[in-house]
Structure 1
């Protein structure tokens, strides 16, 4: 696991729709790779081997996959933004993922 970064840019709160977010799934060379957790959009472009088309976590690229992260699931049907039905233990896992990403990736917007 990589250590927290000290060179992150100040968080942005630019509005990004889920349809716009889909465009940043790593399938277009030269375009950033974004994913969202609990509505916060992170730029994960510096890890294309993880989030790009051949990466093990590509399922989350270009979408808000909060439910899947909370459930520790890589199933496509779980990679959705609605985490309202997660159990307390799963919400704890989701919050841990959010904290992890917040310390390692630039925040580029909010899902609207």
Structure 2
């Protein structure tokens, strides 16, 4: 699987797993295709996350090892494969997603400085 299709899979899997049913299809479309207008929508995503699968964990302690790889998306740049440590540094205080295991484990960084672990 190419890196591009892998990043798309991570983002679509995030939407399918962690977004409320009524908003899921919309977010699969947004997250599956990077576009500059996605940034304008980024703050909306928090309100559409399914609360059954998210837990606030601002320290992110115990979520993953610093060297674990995942796909990071900040709604500005194309999704990229980086380490958990890099994601924590870059995602702090902005809206961003770091998908570690597609549809199973991710971190949602919120611009208010809050971090949410998304897991199934």
Report the TM-score range of the alignment, normalised by the length of the smaller protein. under 0.3
Structure with greater strand share of residues:
2
If the length of structure 1 is used for normalisation, what is the TM-score? 0.27
**Structure with the largest fraction of helix:** 2
- Higher relative contact order by CA 8 Å / sep ≥ 6: 1 or 2? 1
